[in-house]
Structure formats: structure tokens, C-alpha cells
Amino acid sequence: MAAAGRKEKRALWVIAIPMAILALSCVYPVFFAINNALKSNKGYILDRFGVVTEPTFDNFTQAWTRSNLSEYFLNSVIVTVGAVALLLVVSSLAGFALASLRFPYRKFIFVVILASLMIPVQVVLVPFYQTIINLGLLNTHAGLIISYTAFFLPFSVYLMTAFYSGLPRELIEAARIDGAKLLQVWWHVMLPMGKPALITLGILNTLYCWNDVLISLLVLQSDRTLMVGIAALRGEYTTNVPLLSAGIVLAAAPIVIIYIIFQRQIVSGIAVGAVKG
Amino acid sequence: MTDLANSIAADMSVRRKRRPRRGSRTERRFAYLFVLPALLLVLVFRIIPLFWGFLLSLTDSDGINPAEFIGAGNYVTMANDPVFRDSMVNTLLLLASLPIWIMVPMLLAILIHQGVPGGKLFRAVYFFPAVLSSVIVGSIFNVLLRYDGSVNAFLKSFGFSAVDWLGSSSTALGTLIGVQLWATFGMSLLIFLAGLSTVPKDMLEAARLDGAKLWQTWWYIVIPALRPIIEFVAVVTTIGVLTSMFGLIYVLTAGGPGTATTLPEFLIWLEQGKMNRPGYAAALSMVLFVLMGGIAWLQIRIMQRNANL
């Protein structure tokens, strides 16, 4: 970027102040949740805004055991891991075919898959719910895994197709001349070559699945995922803010850890949607 | 880099001419096999339900008695339903706030790109709320925004009077929009930053050498160069505000007070579940579909252009 003049540099410093306040507001709620999770209920009522003085971990153990968060946590882990694995396999297979193989209606199929972006779950809420019931998938982990895959799939297929179409075709040709079957080409060439895109998709889809509420509310009614559990916890314990805060911290922790570790991949994954990477 | 891309593209077009377009029989068979899972999932859970939903919207289905065909009955009911009308007004108010959703992240992105001190840190921190679930964000803000919560305590320390952010129908929708904006502006900011990295640097340098002021380079070079990104962010944000506020409404306001924060997606869920009127809910869904269909079509066109297929 062109060098800013001295006056302009000073202006940038001045602008940095409101920007820093905005940045503080972005982390304050997390501080707020952790701070309150460490207070006892009485401690919270006596001093709602102060920094915790006598930290206690009782809220965490209570939320984890008595409020069933451990069970919800396990549900969320099962469906997230299952859905992400399925999403990666399905989208890289489809991306391979759409980008590197030649067959009639290739473009049409690509457009159909992308067009489903126009159909979010709210638009098909009733018939989608009926479909889940008719297929016997209501209240099953498999049902939620399949639902997540269906609803988060188009972007993944798009990204894999875009990524694979940037790879030189010689790779596939060479493997095929060696007599490899196409499934082997996918396994031995396309999956390893697609690693950067697959990692990005893996992380982004983990966020989407872990954070979802609506699909989970519909498909898993007798059981709960963590986010639905937190929403319920909020309804049951409106007055016990420390307990609720502990639940929030437990539910957000995995995502916060993933964000800190994979920040670069998440950032580039978001950017890729706008400017093809 | 572009030269390389061009030569690869030229290479590929030559090869395409030499080889048959349709591929060999095994290639075709495997290709269909590979796209089948994706296609099947999308068809069974999204595309077929869309048509099914349209048929359902023409019935009086209540989930118990056999549904009967009532033509446009549900749509007539809708026109006279005050809750539906309120939800449409709320949607319009929400859409009216779109310029803020685009300009705030764009301005911040340009400032970070321009080299504001601490820019890298700001980028990471601003994006942070976007990775949190709407349930987490909603639950925290539910406590922060209570009448005796942190936000009001903060205001009071500056001599302002407390506001019943979520409990008053005049502020609830604005508050909801504010929280969602806070939670997602980092996402648009990242997209803008990615776009800014494509703004030609030598052009900026040249303009500066010719004595252009900083703000002039913004107005005449940076913002015009960002046009495709602005388009993209506008489309993505519009779809986002129409279809991803459910979680926040669910924990923050439950559509209230009254119908002050009832948006179509929440109303659909209410009618489907609590009110047990699947036929009517399906009709509401169709309205939402038409509302966002055009916008989403634009997005697909942009994506298709970018994928170079």
C-alpha cells in the first residue's frame, strides 16, 4: 500500500482507538462468561460485574453432570464428526467427477447441486421433516448426520470442484496410463492432492455442524445436541447466571480452541468463497 | 502467475479438442457414480421437498386429519394474518439496515488494509464472534442486555438512562439486528480484505505520487475496484439475514415482545411445530423462497463465474 503521509499516519492512530474499543467488545462477552462461570451463585448476586475473587469450579461440574451437558456434548461430537467425514468424502468424489471427468450433463449436475443453495432448511421445513420421518431417521444420530451433509454440501462441492479444476490433468492421465482404476485415482491422487481444500472444508463444516440449532431441533427431538441443550439450560436457569455461563463456556470451548489453532485456514476458507483461491 | 494460468488454459483447450468430449464409457459410468451421493442427498432432502412443499401449501394439512386441497386458501389466510404482516414489516426493516451491514465491514477492512496500528490483531479479534454459535451469542447477550445487565450499567455510568433493550417492542428488533451484526461483521470484513489484496498496488502508488489524498485514492481507486466484492457481500448478507437469524431469535426474544422480532423463518417454525399447521407453514415457506430465490440466483451466478466451469 502507498505510504501514508505524516498527517495521515496520525489520523490512522486516532482511528485505531475506536477500532480497539470495538475489538474489546468482541472479546468482552467471552470474558464475561468465563468470569461469571467461576463465581458462586451468591458471589454473582453480591457482585455481578466485578472480577471473580474466589474462583470455584462447582458450576462446571454441575453443568457437566447434573444438567446432562456431558450427554449432549457426546451427541454433538458424534454428529459433527460423522457429518464432516461424510461431507468430505461425498464432496471430494463429486468435485473429482465434476472437475476432471468428462460426461454428459456435467454442467447441468453442477448447477443443480449449486441451485440447492437457494433452498435453505426454512424453505422446506415441513416436507423435510416429513422426509426424515418417512425414512425412519427421526431421533437418530444417522438422521442428523445425513441432514447436515445434505444442507452443508453445496458449498463443499463447489469448493472441491473449483480446487480440482485448478489441478493439471496430467496427474490423472499419468495415473490412468499406469492402469489405475478411477476409484484408485481418487484415493491415491485426488484425496492427497485435495488436502488443502479438504482441511479448510473440514474446519468450516465442523463450525457449521457444531453450531447448528434449527436442523438439530427438528431431527433430534427426544435427545439433544449441545446447542439445543444450552438453549434449554438458558430457559431453565434464567436466574442462575453462573451455571448458565459454565454451560456456555463448555459449549464454546471446542470451537474457540479450533479457532485459535486453525485461524489461518478458517480465514482463507472464508476468503475463497469470494475470490477463488 | 497469470501467464502460467493462461498457458495452462491454452494447453487444456488444445487437449480437449484432441480427446472426445464425452469421455470413455467407464469414465462416464464412474463419473455418474461419483456425483450420485451428492446429487441424491440434494434431491431427496432439498429439491423434492421444495416441490412437495408447494403442493402441501395448497392443502389444509394439520398433521392429523387427511389433508384436503384448498387451492390458494393458505395464501388468502396469510394476507389477512396480522402476524404474517408484522413479520413482513420486520423483514423490510431488516433489509433496510443492509447498507450498514456492508459499509461497516468495508470501512474497517479498508482501514486495516491501509495499515491502522494493530490491524492484524483487529482482524483476528473481529472475526472471533463469527465462529460462535448463535445460541452462545444469544445466551450471553440475554444476560448482558437485561434491564439490570452490563450494558445498562455501562450506560448509567455515563449518565444515560437504562433501556429495556429486549423487552420493549420499539427497541427489540434494532437490538436483535445489532447483536447479529456484531456477531457476523467479521465474516464480511474478511471477504473485503481478500478483495482488497487484489487492488493494483502500482495504481495506488502512482495516484499518491500525483498528489492524491488518501481518501481520494479510496473513492476513485479502492472502492471501484471492490465492486464485485461489494456485490458478493451484499448477496451473501441478504441471504444471511433472511435465513440465519433463527438461533438468535430462539434464545434472545422468541419472536417477541408481541411480534416485534418475528421474522418469516421463525414464524415458519412456530406454525410447523407449536401451532401444528404444516399446510400454512409450507405456504409461508414458499413466500420466503420467492423472497430469497432471486437473491440466491445472483449468488450462484457469481460462484459459477468464479469456478470457471
Judged by CB atoms closer than 8 Å, whether chains meet at A90 and B141 is answered as no
Q: In Å, how far from its chain's centre is CA A170?
A: 34
| Cross-chain CB nearest to B278 (options A15, A126, A212) | A126
Contacts 24+ apart (CB under 8 A), A140-144: A140/A219, A140/A220, A141/A75, A141/A78, A141/A79, A141/A82, A141/A220, A142/A82, A143/A219, A143/A220, A144/A79, A144/A83, A144/A215, A144/A216, A144/A219, A144/A220, A144/A225
- Mutation target to probe the B interface, by most B beta carbons within 10 A, among A21, A126, A217, A262 is A126
Element at B202 (helix H, strand E): helix B201-209
**Predicted local distance difference test score (pLDDT) of residue B1:** 33
**Predicted local distance difference test score (pLDDT) of residue A272:** 63
Residue B229 structural domain? 97-262
Instruction: Look at residue B8 and tell me whether its pLDDT is greater than 80.
Output: no
Task: Please spell the DSSP secondary structure of B228-254, one letter per residue.
Answer: HHHHHHHHHHHHHHHHS-HHHHHHHTT
B63, part of any domain: no
State the smallest CA–CA distance between residue A160 and chain B in angstroms. Answer: 10
Q: Which residues of B touch A2 (CB under 8 A)?
A: 201, 204-205, 207-208, 217
**Contact with chain B for residue A5, Cβ under 8 A:** yes
Judged by CB atoms closer than 8 Å, whether chains meet at A2 and B217 is answered as yes
Instruction: Residue A218: name the closest of A145, A139, A157, A150 by CA.
Output: A139
A120, part of any domain: yes
* Beta-carbon contacts below 8 Å between A and B: 333
Cell numbers placing B255? 419472536
State the smallest CA–CA distance between residue A163 and chain B in angstroms. Answer: 9
A143, part of any domain: yes
Distances (CA, A) of B47 to A42, A105, A115, B39: 53, 18, 9, 10
Report residue B7's pLDDT band, with 50, 70 and 90 as the boundaries: very low
Provide the residue count of chain B. 309
Judged by CB atoms closer than 8 Å, whether chains meet at B30 and A182 is answered as yes
Judged by CB atoms closer than 8 Å, whether chains meet at B136 and A210 is answered as no
Judged by CB atoms closer than 8 Å, whether chains meet at A12 and B28 is answered as no
Instruction: Residue A96: name the closest of A219, A197, A204, A22 by CA.
Output: A197
Report residue B11's pLDDT band, with 50, 70 and 90 as the boundaries: very low
**Contact with chain B for residue A122, Cβ under 8 A:** yes
**Predicted local distance difference test score (pLDDT) of residue A3:** 52
A175, part of any domain: yes
Judged by CB atoms closer than 8 Å, whether chains meet at B136 and A248 is answered as yes
Compute the average pLDDT of residues B3-10: 40
* Single-letter amino acid code for the residue at A76: S
Strand partners, B59: B69
Nearest CA in chain A to B297: A118
State the smallest CA–CA distance between residue B181 and chain A in angstroms. Answer: 11
Alpha-carbon distance of A205 to A86, in angstroms, equals: 11
Alpha-carbon distance of A3 to A154, in angstroms, equals: 42
Compute the average pLDDT of residues A261-268: 81
| Cross-chain CB nearest to B247 (options A16, A153, A214) | A214
State the smallest CA–CA distance between residue A71 and chain B in angstroms. Answer: 18
Q: Which residues of A touch B138 (CB under 8 A)?
A: 231, 234
Instruction: Look at residue B159 and tell me whether its pLDDT is greater than 90.
Output: no
Instruction: Map grid coordinates 447441468 to a residue.
Output: A108
State the smallest CA–CA distance between residue A116 and chain B in angstroms. Answer: 7
A145, part of any domain: yes
**Contact with chain B for residue A206, Cβ under 8 A:** no
Q: How many domains does chain A have?
A: 1
- Mutation target to probe the B interface, by most B beta carbons within 10 A, among A13, A122, A224, A234 is A122
**Predicted local distance difference test score (pLDDT) of residue B117:** 87
Q: Which residues of B touch A245 (CB under 8 A)?
A: 143
Q: Any idea what DSSP says for residue B69?
A: B
Q: Quickly list H helices, B80-171.
A: 82-96, 98-113, 119-131, 134-144, 150-157
State the smallest CA–CA distance between residue B94 and chain A in angstroms. Answer: 18
Judged by CB atoms closer than 8 Å, whether chains meet at A102 and B111 is answered as no
Nearest CA in chain A to B31: A97
**Contact with chain B for residue A157, Cβ under 8 A:** yes
Judged by CB atoms closer than 8 Å, whether chains meet at B134 and A267 is answered as no
Nearest CA in chain A to B187: A270
- A144-180 pLDDT tens trace: 999 999 999 998 998 899 888 888 877 777 777 666 6
Task: Tell which A residues from 11 to 70 touch B, by Cβ distance under 8 Å.
Answer: 11-13, 15-16, 19-20, 22-23, 25-27, 29-30, 32-33, 36, 48-49
Q: How many domains does chain B have?
A: 1
* Single-letter amino acid code for the residue at B143: V
- B109-127 pLDDT tens trace: 988 988 888 888 898 899 8
- A25-51 pLDDT tens trace: 898 888 888 988 898 887 787 777 777
State the smallest CA–CA distance between residue A237 and chain B in angstroms. Answer: 11
Cell numbers placing A41? 451463585
Instruction: Look at residue B83 and tell me whether its pLDDT is greater than 60.
Output: yes
The CATH number covering residue A190 comes to 1.10.3720.10
Angle made by CA atoms A111, A200, A149, in degrees to the nearest 5: 50
Report residue B21's pLDDT band, with 50, 70 and 90 as the boundaries: low
A130, part of any domain: yes
- Mutation target to probe the A interface, by most A beta carbons within 10 A, among B136, B146, B252 is B136
Angle made by CA atoms A13, A16, A21, in degrees to the nearest 5: 145
Residue A111 structural domain? 72-236
What torsion, rounded to 10 degrees, do the Cα atoms B258, B261, B266, B267 define?
Answer: 40
| Cross-chain CB nearest to A32 (options B129, B144, B296) | B144
A24, part of any domain: no
- B176-189 pLDDT tens trace: 999 999 998 988 89
Judged by CB atoms closer than 8 Å, whether chains meet at A275 and B139 is answered as no
The CATH number covering residue B226 comes to 1.10.3720.10
B50, part of any domain: no
The ipTM assigned to this model is 0.86
**Predicted local distance difference test score (pLDDT) of residue B274:** 76
A163, part of any domain: yes
Cis? peptide before B228, omega within 30° of 0? no
Judged by CB atoms closer than 8 Å, whether chains meet at B133 and A213 is answered as yes
A268, part of any domain: no
pTM of the predicted protein model = 0.86
